[in-house]
Amino acid sequence: MIRRFRIDEGGVHMIRTLIAGNWKMYKTIPEAVDFAERLKEELSTLPEGRDVAIAPTFTALHAVSGIIGGSLIKLCAQNLHEAAEGAFTGEISAAMICDAGCSHVIIGHSERRTLFGETDASVNRKMQSALAAGLKPIMCIGETLEQRECGETFSVIERQVKAGLHDLGAGDMAVVTIAYEPVWAIGTGKTATPEQAQEIHAFVRGIVTAVYGSDVAATLPIIYGGSVNPGNISAIMAQPDVNGALVGGASLDVDKFVKIVRY
């Protein structure tokens, strides 16, 4: 395992690796329970410094929580509403997500941005709501193919990072994870090269350094998402600023996901 750490007056601080599986709109409750039972058996132990989380659909959260409770697997929601409660038909609040057993929540996934009109401002409001409820947010950022081809990648990433983290304090950052997911690599089979991923991850860490200082940036997990699979995970994880992966399609198969977790 590649260890990423900084050394300061307080000693060695290692960035924990996070491998998170985003199930999107797949798996009924029985299917989710079966998967969770098999995954729990396979992941009774984990490599040092490595965390794993799964993000089932809302309907399966409570059932899956009952299976993985007390295990090394963490439960993650795929989205939340920014309000604590209210007349928002079809939505779910941070408190409800916590009540279902979640410790993490994905915010601003590219599909939420492109298909459901989420903006940098709404992502920030959701970040605030998640943190207020004690959830650990995984904030997604990433450029489209058109933006990359137009040379806008860095400006887009900088805007998304700064806007998404607006008004968050250094203390909040202790539980934040940033996920870089180039939109052109989501579910397309295309993957950013390890070098492309590293370039953006290092850029993101630089932005966080400028806003919060080197101590916060040095312990911030920045994970990669975009057609991650057992065949490319090792090369991606070999990059010094890549601290994990947000896995889509491959997380729906127990064997594939376990191979990714144990890269």
Type of residue found at 247: V
Which residues are CB-contacts of 3 (< 8 A; sequence separation ≥ 6)?
Answer: 14, 49
DSSP string covering 101-146: T-SEEEES-HHHHHHH---HHHHHHHHHHHHHTT-EEEEEE---HH
Nearest alpha-carbon partner for 251 in 217, 235, 228: 228
Compute CA distances 129 → 95, 177, 232, whole Å.
9, 15, 34
Q: Tell me if residue 166 is catalytic.
A: no
Could you say which of 82, 111, 143, 181 is catalytic? 181
Q: Which of 88, 80, 87, 104 is nearest to 246 (CA)?
A: 104
Residue 62 is a catalytic residue: no
Residue 165 gets which letter from DSSP? T
Helix (H, G, I), strand (E, B) or coil at 12: strand
Which of 108, 76, 104, 81 lies closest to 92, judged by CA? 81
Residue that has been written with the tokens 């300061």 in this structure: 8
> Count of CB atoms within 10 A of residue 1's CB?
11
Do the Cβ atoms of 189 and 170 come closer than 8 Å?
Answer: no
Q: Which of 81, 109, 111, 143 is catalytic?
A: 109
Q: SS3 of 94, please?
A: helix
**Do residues 131 and 172 lie in contact, with contact meaning Cβ atoms separated by under 8 Å?**
yes
Active-site residue set: 109, 181
